[in-house]
């Protein structure tokens, strides 16, 4: 039996606004723009994607699952994401070589340092 990773579902107060934010942050394309299911992917034909769905309740605690991103330049990427509307987040990580940010609805994600050459 084989499994293919289709998408990550993101509960949101405003799926369209949050989906648009993530599309801009990642440089991904919109493949479904319904207010009930707003989906973005790296390319129209490439998985996995992120699917934003509405929920009535607000986020209240630290995510149990979060995304990690590894850019070429961590500090430049953090600055870019902050300029798009992300904010720094403290989830008890202490002093680490990565930066924890939160999207406009408070979902935490990490921006890692550049990969070391092999």
Q: What is the pLDDT of residues 25-56, one digit of tens each?
A: 999 999 999 999 999 999 999 999 999 999 99
Domain 1-58 has CATH 3.30.720.120: yes
Q: Is 7 helix (H, G, I), strand (E, B) or coil?
A: strand
Question: Who's near 81: CB < 8 A, 6+ residues apart?
Answer: 25, 101, 111
Would you state the pLDDT for residue 92?
Answer: 72
Domain ranges of the chain: 1-58, 59-118
CB neighbours (10 Å) of residue 98?
15
> Is pLDDT at 118 greater than 70 in this prediction?
no
CA 36 to CA 12: how far, in whole Å?
10
pTM of this structure: 0.90
For the domain spanning 59-118, the CATH number is 3.10.180.10
Tokens of 103: 């999207």
């Amino acid at each position: 039996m084989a499994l293919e990773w289709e998408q990550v579902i993101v509960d949101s107060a405003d799926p369209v606004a949050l989906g648009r934010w993530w599309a801009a942050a990642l440089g991904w394309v919109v493949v479904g723009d319904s207010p009930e299911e707003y989906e973005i992917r790296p390319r129209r034909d490439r998985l996995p994607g992120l699917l934003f769905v509405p929920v009535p309740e607000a986020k209240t605690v630290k995510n149990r699952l979060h995304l990690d991103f590894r850019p070429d330049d961590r500090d430049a990427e953090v600055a870019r994401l902050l300029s798009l509307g992300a904010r720094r987040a403290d989830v008890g990580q202490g002093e680490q070589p990565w930066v924890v940010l939160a999207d406009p609805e408070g979902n935490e994600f990490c921006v890692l340092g550049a990969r070391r050459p092999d």
